[in-house]
Amino acid sequence: MNPRNRNAFGLALAAVLLAACVPIPLPSLPGIPGFGRPSGPPPIADRTISVNGYCSQTEEDGFREQATLTVDNNNVSALQWQLWVGRRGSCQFDLSTFQQTKRRPSIELRERNGSCTLMVWQDPRRVTLAHANCEAHCTPGIYEEAWPVMFDPQTGQCARNAR
């Protein structure tokens, strides 16, 4: 092989090797689970929330809750919630220490003098009242076991749940 052909062959070989290093983007297949980007939880549906709820129940494991929640057209007018984690302690929330900061797609109430947030959202089977960053409202050591309370949107009573 003459030097000129050898140089051309060397350059061609280098180009092929470099091209082999370029990643080829694969198409996303959104209809097939496990392909493409991982999907997160679906967004909360933007529903008008109106409930006159009262839930008082005790579970077999000793978890107990008593909650009153009144919401009309996404405006919270009453909220008192206490939950007990067996005999180990409790958490307590009262509307008087919170201010409603969001109405759609879910309701948020922020503590006036702290970082605690209460959230209310509705799906077809229940209205959920949950908390975030509210350790100060609970007996030390139980916060991780303090579950949300759920109301039946039709009756306002405790919704059936699978904890």
**125 vs 118: CA distance, rounded Å:** 20
Structural domain contains residue 9: no
Query: CA neighbours within 13 Å on the CB side: how many for 70?
Result: 4
**What pTM was computed for the model?**
0.71
Residue that has been written with the tokens 């909220």 in this structure: 79
Tens of pLDDT along 96-128?
A: 999 999 999 899 999 998 899 999 999 888 999
Structural domain contains residue 65: yes
- Domain membership of residue 134 as a residue range: 51-151
Structural domain contains residue 11: no
Which pLDDT score is estimated for 163?
Answer: 46
Structural domain contains residue 136: yes
As for how many domains the chain has, the answer is 1
Structural domain contains residue 103: yes
Which pLDDT score is estimated for 100?
Answer: 96
Tens of pLDDT along 40-79?
A: 655 667 778 999 999 999 988 889 999 999 999 999 999 9
Structural domain contains residue 36: no
Q: What is the 3-state secondary structure (H, E, C) of 50-81?
A: CEEEEEEEECCCCEEEEEEEEEECCEEEEEEE
